[in-house]
Amino acid sequence: MKKISILFSVMILLFTGCQEDKGYFLSGSVSGMEDGKKVYVSEYDAETNSTSPLDTTTIQQGEFELDMQNIDLPKLSFLSFEGVNGNVIFIAENEKISFDINKDSLRNAKISGGKENKGLSEYLNHLNELNRKMGKMQQEMRQAMTSRDTAKLATMRETQLELRDNDENFKKDLFNRNKDSYLAVMLLTDMLKMKTLSSAEVREMYDEVSDRIKKTPMAKNLEKVLEQNKAAEVGSKAPEFSGPTPDGKELSLSDNLGKVTIVDFWAAWCKPCRIENPNLVRTYNKYKDQGLSVISVSLDRPGQKDRWIQAIEEDNLEQWNHVSNLQFWNDPIARKYKISAIPATFILDEKGIIVAKNLRGDALENKIGELLQ
C-alpha cells in the first residue's frame, strides 16, 4: 500500500506540474543576425494606440526561446530585434508559436502554431501580394500618364477597381471563416479605416463576431468607433454645428436648412473638390428655386483665409453659405461628421435627417431632383 501511495503522489505531482505550465511559448530561428542580439516582445494597447513591452531574450546559435505568461484573450503582438528596423506581427494565444525569420525580410517571416496565427499569416500574405500588385500598377499608370496613353490608363483603372473588389471579397471570406478569432476584429477595423465598407456594413458584420472576441480591447475600441459613426450615417439626424463665415459672422446649420440641404466639405487646396465644384454649382442653380440649400464647410489651413475666399470666387460658389474654422483636418465640424477625406457631401431633408452621402456629378443632381419632386 505504501508503494501505491508513493506512486499515486508522484502522478499527482506530474499532473499538477503539467497543469501549471500554462501560457504561450515562443521559439524561432533567425538568419542574418548575430548571437547575443536582443529579441523584444511587445503587445498592442488599443486604448492608447501604442505598444507595451512584455519581455526580452537573446539570440543563441541563431535561435531564441521565450516562455510567456498565460493570457485570457488573444492579443496583437510584435517581435522586434536589436539594431533591425521593423517587426514581426503575430497574435499571442496560449499555444506554442514558432517563427522562421530573415533579417532582411521581417514582414515575410513564417509563423506557425495556433489557429489565430494561421489566419493572420493568410491575411498578411494577401496584403503583401496586394501591395506588390498595386505598387506595380501605380508605376505603370505614371508611365501611361507621361506618355499620354489614355487607352492604357482606362484599362489600368479597371484593373485597379478589380483588385479592390477582389480585396473586399477576400477579406469578407476570411472574416466568415474566423468569427471566433482576433483576426475578425483586425479585418473589420481595416475595412472601416480603408472605407472598403461603410460603417453600417461593418457594424452588421461586427454583430457576428463571437462574444469571446468582443471582450478584447481592440473589439471594444471598434465598437466605440462604430457607435460614434452613427451620428453621421444615413438615417441619422445630422450633427448640429455653427461656424464663422468669410465676413466673420456665425452661421448655424439649423437656421439654414432648406427643403433639401447639401452640407459640402471641401478646401481650396483640394483638387478633386475644385473639379467637382462646377457640378455642385450646376445642381444648385437648377434646384435653388425649389428649396435647395447648400452649406460649404472648408478645411483650409490656419492663416489661409485669403485662399479660401479666393477659391469661393474663382469657382463661383458665393451663391450659397460658407463656414470654416481654418483648422485643416482638426476642424470641429469635420470631426463631428467623421470626415477623413474630401470632397464629402451629406444630403439632408427638411428635418435635418441625412438621406444620402457622397454623391457626385449626375448622381448628386438626380438625387436632389428626386427629393424635391
User: Domains in the chain, ordered, with CATH?
Assistant: 21-110 (2.60.40.10), 117-232 (no CATH), 242-372 (3.40.30.10)
User: Is residue 116 a contact partner of residue 74, using CB atoms and an 8 Å limit?
Assistant: yes
pLDDT computed for residue 16 by the predictor: 40
- Residue 331 is classified by DSSP as -
Long-range contacts at 36-39 (CB < 8 A, ≥ 24 apart): 36/60, 37/81, 37/82, 37/83, 38/81, 38/82, 39/64, 39/66, 39/79, 39/80, 39/81, 39/82
- 3-state SS class at 300: coil
Segment 244-253 shows an average pLDDT of 96
> Which residue in this structure is represented by grid cell 449626375?
362
Q: What is the mean pLDDT of residues 20-39?
A: 89
DSSP letter at 237?
Answer: B
**For residues 227 and 242, is the Cβ–Cβ distance under 8 A?**
no
pLDDT average, residue stretch 291-315: 97
Q: Which of 372, 371, 347, 361 is nearest to 277 (CA)?
A: 361
- The predicted pLDDT at position 281 comes to 96
* Average model confidence (pLDDT) across the chain: 90
Q: Which segment of 47-56, 81-90, 173-182 scores lowest on mean pLDDT?
A: 47-56
CA 328/CA 346 separation, integer angstroms: 19
Residues 6+ apart with CB under 8 A from 226: 192, 199, 202, 203, 206
Render pLDDT for 138-188 as a digit per residue (tens, 0 to 9): 888 888 888 888 888 888 888 888 999 999 999 999 999 999 999 999 999
pLDDT band at 22 (very low <50, low <70, confident <90, very high): low
Separation between Cα atoms, residue 196 and residue 187, nearest integer Å: 10
pTM of the full structure: 0.70
Least confident range of 15-29, 107-121, 330-344: 15-29
Q: For the chain, how big is the Rg over CA atoms in Å?
A: 28
What is residue 186's three-state secondary structure? helix
Residue 331 has pLDDT above 70, yes or no: yes
pLDDT of residue 5: 44
What's the maximum distance between 2 C-alpha atoms anywhere in the chain?
103
Question: Are 187 and 218 in contact, with CB atoms under 8 Å apart?
Answer: no
At residue 49, the pLDDT reads 84
